[in-house]
């Protein structure tokens, strides 16, 4: 993506305006990804800010002429994984008390009442979000990147720091699990997450 590349180069040259343009281009997509992973608007916003702070601190690691988007997505991926691990550790500590709260929570600890459903059919979106939330982190990310964010398997593998083969397996298993839960007919083979989208 030439635009993001040019903006990143100008940003590295000390142009704060270029950063704002880059933010305007990249942040909405990144927030969409983080929202589907974290499922809580406040958490996704926080992860987005953390991601951009990391980008800012690590901008010297950028290679001129390179597309910054896969790198930026990888940083967002890393930020989400670190946060999810923190929250899992926190859940273990909560488990030591006698009574646990009855509020259903996803992997990242959000409550069912705090979902960001958007403006689509709320029932379908909620069902899909519930099914997504039930997936393991890796499968959820594979489905989000390849099916919802339109990344190719190779791009998704690079972002998640895994092999193309492993990403195909994760996406396939995640997609199959969703198909069982959502109970709708499977899509034609050409739309399977195994190929570039």
> Interface with another protein by CB under 8 A: which residues?
12-16, 19-20, 23, 27-32, 35-36, 41, 44-45, 48-49, 52-54, 56-68, 70-71, 74-75, 77-78, 116, 118-121, 124-125, 127-129, 131-132, 143, 147-148, 150, 158-161, 163, 178-179, 182, 184, 187
Q: Which is nearer to another protein, 94 or 191 (CB)?
A: 191
What single string gives the DSSP state of each residue in 82-141? Answer: HHHHHHHHHHHHHTTSS----S-B-TT--BGGG---TTS-HHHHHHHHHHHHHS-HHHHH
Q: Minimum CB separation from another protein for residue 135, in Å? A: 12
Q: Quick check: helix, strand or coil at residue 14?
A: coil
Q: Which is nearer to another protein, 3 or 187 (CB)?
A: 187
Q: Which is nearer to another protein, 86 or 100 (CB)?
A: 86
Q: Minimum CB separation from another protein for residue 149, in Å? A: 8
Residues 53, 102: Cα–Cα separation, whole Å? 35
Residues constituting the chain: 197
Residues 141, 105: Cα–Cα separation, whole Å? 18
Evaluate whether 108 touches 81 at the Cβ level (below 8 Å). Answer: no
Q: Minimum CB separation from another protein for residue 92, in Å? A: 23
Q: Which is nearer to another protein, 52 or 110 (CB)?
A: 52
């Amino acid at each position: 993506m030439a635009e993001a590349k040019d903006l990143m180069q100008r940003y590295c040259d000390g142009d704060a305006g270029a950063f704002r343009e880059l933010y305007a281009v990249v942040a909405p997509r990144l927030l969409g990804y983080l929202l589907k992973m974290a499922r809580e608007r406040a958490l996704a916003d926080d992860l987005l800010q953390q991601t951009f702070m990391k980008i800012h601190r690590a901008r010297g690691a950028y290679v001129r002429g390179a597309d910054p988007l896969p790198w930026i997505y990888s940083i967002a991926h890393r930020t989400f994984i670190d946060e999810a691990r923190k929250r899992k550790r926190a859940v273990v500590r909560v488990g030591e008390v006698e009574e646990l709260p009855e509020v259903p929570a996803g992997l990242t600890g959000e409550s069912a009442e705090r979902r960001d459903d958007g403006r689509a059919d709320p029932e379908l979106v909620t069902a899909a979000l519930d099914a997504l939330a039930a997936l393991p982190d890796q499968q959820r990310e594979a489905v989000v990147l390849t099916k919802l964010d339109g990344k190719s398997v190779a791009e998704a593998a690079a972002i998640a720091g895994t092999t193309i083969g492993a990403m195909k397996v994760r996406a396939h298993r995640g997609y199959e699990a969703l198909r069982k839960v959502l109970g709708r007919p499977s899509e034609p083979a050409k739309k399977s997450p195994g190929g570039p989208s």
